[in-house]
Structure 1
Amino acid sequence: MSDLGVLLQNAREKRGLSLDDIQETTKIRKRYLEAIESGDHTVLPGPFYVRAFVKNYSEAVGLDPDEVLRLYQHEVPAATVEQVAEPIPVRAPRRVKSQSSERLGKIGFNIMMWSFLILIVVVVWVYFINQDADPPKQADQGTNITDASSPPPADEETDEPAGSGATPPEVSPTPPVPTMAPTTVTFGSKVGKADQYDIGPAGPHKLEIKVVGGKSWLEVREGSNSGNKLFSKNAEDGTVQSYDLTGPLYINVGRSDLTEITVDGVPVPDGDRAGSKKLLLHPVQEEAPAGEGQAEDGETGGTEGNAAAQ
């Protein structure tokens, strides 16, 4: 056993450690630890591993590894440094051009130059051909612009040439196309349980009721909730009902959130909630012009007075 091995073994035993404990701590195989204590370095992989194993063993038993390696450097072989020879770069041999390749290169260069010159000549020739083309034909200056024309015939009634001082016929102006006022939906009042909405302006309107998203009860009557029944059943999803709104219409929906009510495309507020809603749509009536009724009454009175007088 070597002096280094005795030192490491005594330090291990003083701490009450076994080789298995040192193996667990240093992760060095037990047979390598036994070889270090016995001084048989031939079992170890190499000089570098000998120094590394001794250093780890010393730290595991509480010794200064640098001091141990310094005192027992005659027993621990020095790690050899492998010299790596740098490869000498080999220059690629220069390719020797043969006479045939040089000749082909010259021929290719000459062909390219001649092609370029021919292309230039063709371009110049096309340019001059276009310049020498016939100029655009000009109008014959000797030809009269218009042939001799006879004067316009005279009117039979006025014995004057047509168009000479004649009064043009009067053209009535085209009347402007009347523009339709936009449809308005205005809340009027509460009629029973129904919300009354005034639909303006006066004139016909188009009412459309859509059921979207599920089934909903739908009832439509003329005038009021007791008027003539136009529709009354549980409408399926996608049902569309259209009516000409010329008079008051009563509408009762079971699910206002599944019903869309519009007049000429203008939506009518229906609450949009999962509950019933009752509406009374009242179109605005056109008012009679002021004094029209009085004039009719006056004419009737006058006629009756004349009849009595007779």
Structure 2
Amino acid sequence: MDEHEEQFEQDGADAGTGDAGTGVGQRLLSERERQGLSRQDIRDRTKIPERHLISIEEGDLASLPGRTYAIGFVRSYARELQLDEEAMVEQARAELGAAAPPPPPRSVQHMEPGDPARIPSAKLAWGVLALLLVIAVLGFFFWRSWFLPAAELPPLTDETQNAPAAAGAATPGGAATPAATQAPRGPVVFTATIDGVWVRFYDGSGDRLYESLMNQGDSFTIPADAENPQIWTGRPDALSITIGGRDVPPLAEEDRVIRDVPVSAGALGARGPGPGLPSAPGSQDTTR
């Protein structure tokens, strides 16, 4: 084991001690400078915004968008510098845990059984009942506004070309041929609508097609020859989708982790109306 690796293991053993010189940010900064790389070089290679790189190198992991992004950024940074990713991630987790504020002390009140102070008044009971009733009414209207509008969204398939075609065209034998609707066809393009969207595309054999931390405006086109292309991401709501240049609903409306979801034009076009995952055997999604 050379001197660099011994120092790396010693730094890993000191993680979470509060010594700024052995923190994840200081180690990444020192290694970047040792390799003669600028912060812009790391930004261009990892797609991590420069303001987040500054926070990491200053040891301010708590200021990043969230714990998941902080861990992902540290992993990408360490991988680019060819450091031990797992050791760096473990140290980052330790630093994030040390930075979390301690829970507030709980006050304990000692009351004798039958103490009137422990018995809620009738006014308080009626107030709680009224609050529950208001919550129930608001919940009902929220449920209607959340679920029912999806049934009114237009389908992904094209409208029938015209009324005579819908009724059927006459064939030489006198039979009518119903008009066929066409699902969207053409290149499938995913575009990030915000900064810092991690995504991985791969085919049915697990071979990676594309993996990156996409910034706003970055896009990826599914290769036409990819067999059963699938996606893995934690922000499906931040990825807009077009098929042959036509906008289609996103895979989800909230941030959650999805994995092994098919993203071919056929799979996306076969979805029901509104945002949602393609229903295909073997696809799964996992809430965060």
TM-score higher than 0.5: no
Q: Which has the larger radius of gyration?
A: 1
TM-score by length of 2: 0.26
TM-score by length of 1: 0.24
Q: Which has the higher contact order (CA 8 A, sep 6+)?
A: 2
